[in-house]
């Protein structure tokens, strides 16, 4: 009879071959990636830098039925000392882009009143604030939020109140845009979010 570990090894090999061995770490200590500094090792560890990578590796895990665990900055998670016998994915997606601006023309030029900004879920709140500040957009209320955009959208009402829409991957691996009210921790993986942000006064 073939053991479970045999199937795990073969599933892991398929994923490793798809992305390249150099993209993975093996038996990686997870305590180095969490704010609490605790946790055992991940059998496989992968950092996703783009939305395409993130969606692709999650879909492969689902198709192969390989256990996976996804996290962002590690500020809100505690991991067992037993570690994780599967693939741990760190979300480091990083794109931020201003989609549109709203303003009015005066004799002094064009004054921006509000901007619509799309942010990928792996972006840290700290980097998000730096971007807003560089664009002359309001940062008040965001300063004391730890972690990433993706993790906080499930929890933080202030962030949710500024959200226009959220791009998610659902349980059937379908990509869709939803409102905050439809967001579910059990059903959705957040890929990016669109925010309305006022200009600084």
pLDDT digits (tens, 9 = 90+) for 106-144: 555 557 889 999 999 999 999 999 999 999 999 999 988
Domain 96-198: top CATH class: alpha beta
**Orientation angle between helical segments 4-19 and 51-64, nearest 10 degrees:** 160
User: What is the CATH architecture assignment of 4-91?
Assistant: 2-Layer Sandwich (3.30)
Beta-strand (E) ranges in 58-174? 68-71, 84-91, 96-106, 109-120, 163-170
Is 0.75 surpassed by the pTM of this model? Answer: yes
Q: Which of left, alpha, beta for 40 (phi over 0: left; psi -120 to 50: alpha)?
A: beta
The full set of domain ranges for the chain reads 4-91, 96-198
């Amino acid at each position: 009879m073939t053991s479970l570990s045999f199937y795990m090894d073969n599933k892991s090999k398929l994923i490793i071959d798809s992305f390249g061995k150099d993209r993975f770490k093996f038996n990686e200590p997870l305590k180095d990636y969490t704010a609490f500094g605790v946790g055992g090792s991940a059998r496989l560890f992968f950092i996703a830098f783009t939305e395409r990578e993130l969606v692709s590796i999650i879909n492969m895990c689902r198709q192969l039925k390989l256990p996976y665990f996804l996290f962002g900055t590690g500020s809100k998670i505690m991991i067992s000392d037993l570690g994780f016998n599967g693939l741990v994915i760190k979300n480091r997606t990083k794109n931020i882009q201003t989609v549109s601006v709203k303003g009015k023309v005066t004799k002094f030029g064009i004054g921006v009143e509000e901007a619509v900004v799309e942010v990928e879920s792996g972006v840290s709140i700290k980097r998000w604030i730096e971007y807003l500040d560089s664009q002359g957009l309001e940062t008040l209320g965001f300063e004391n939020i730890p972690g990433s955009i993706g993790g906080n959208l499930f929890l933080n009402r202030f962030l949710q109140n500024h959200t226009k829409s959220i791009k998610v991957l659902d349980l059937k691996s379908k990509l869709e845009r939803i409102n905050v009210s439809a967001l579910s921790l059990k059903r959705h993986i957040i890929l990016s979010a669109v925010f309305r942000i006022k200009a600084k006064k």
